[in-house]
A and B are shown apart, each in its own frame.
Chain A
Amino acid sequence: MEKRNARRTREIVVPGDVLGDSEEYRTGENAYESDGKIRALMMGLKTYTGDAVGVIPMGGCYMPVTGDTVIGIITDVGPSNWMLDINAPYPAPLHVSEVPWKVEFGDTSRFLTVGDVVLLKVLMVDEAKKISVTMKDSGLRKIEGGQLIEIAHSKISRVIGKSGSMIQMLKNMTDCRIFVGQNGRIWIDGDDENVEVAAEAVRIIEAEARSANLTDRVREYIEKKLPQSEGGDDEEESE
Chain B
Amino acid sequence: MSGHTDMVLVNDEGIRIDGRRVDEKRPIRIEAGVLKNADGSCYLEIGKNKVLCAVYGPRECRPRHLQDPTKAIIQCKYNMQAYSVNDRKRPGTDRRSVEISKLIAEALSSVVQLELYPRASIDVYVEILQANAGTRCAGLTAASVALADAGIPMRDVVPAIACGKADGNVLLDLNKEEDNYGQADVPLAIVPSTDEIVLLQMDGNMTREEFEHGLDMAFKAAHEVNEIQKDALRRRYTEISKKEGDSDE
Give the interface of A toward B (CB within 8 A).
12, 14-17, 30, 32, 34-35, 37, 39, 41-44, 57-61, 63, 89-91, 128-129, 154, 204, 207-208, 210-211, 217, 221
Contacts of B57 in A (CB 8 A): 61, 89
A102 to chain B, nearest CB (A): 31
State whether A39 touches B234 (Cβ < 8 A). no
Q: Which of B113, B157, B243, B244 contacts A16 (CB 8 A)?
A: B157
Contacts of A210 in B (CB 8 A): 240-241, 244
Number of A-B residue pairs, CB cutoff 8 Å, is: 99
Q: Given contacts A16-B157, A207-B244, are A129 and B60 in contact (CB under 8 A)? A: no
Q: Which of A43, A90, A128 contacts B233 (CB 8 A)?
A: A43
Q: Which of B39, B113, B117, B194 contacts A41 (CB 8 A)?
A: B113
Q: How far is the CA of A89 from the CA of B59 in the complex (A)?
A: 4
Closest to A57 in B: B151
Contacts of A42 in B (CB 8 A): 148, 151-154
State whether B245 touches A211 (Cβ < 8 A). yes
State whether B148 touches A89 (Cβ < 8 A). no
Q: Given contacts A17-B230, A35-B194, A210-B244, are A43 and B119 in contact (CB under 8 A)? A: no
Q: How far is the CA of A83 from the CA of B60 in the complex (A)?
A: 13
Q: How far is the CA of A89 from the CA of B152 in the complex (A)?
A: 12
B239 to chain A, nearest CB (A): 11
Given contacts A43-B149, A58-B237, 7 further A-B contacts (CB under 8 A): A15-B157, A16-B192, A39-B193, A89-B58, A128-B69, A129-B117, A129-B118
| Chain A CB within 8 A of B150 CB | yes
Q: Which of B60, B193, B237, B241 contacts A43 (CB 8 A)?
A: B237
| Chain A CB within 8 A of B120 CB | yes
Q: Which of B60, B113, B155, B233 contacts A89 (CB 8 A)?
A: B60
Q: How far is the CA of A59 from the CA of B153 in the complex (A)?
A: 10
B96 to chain A, nearest CB (A): 29
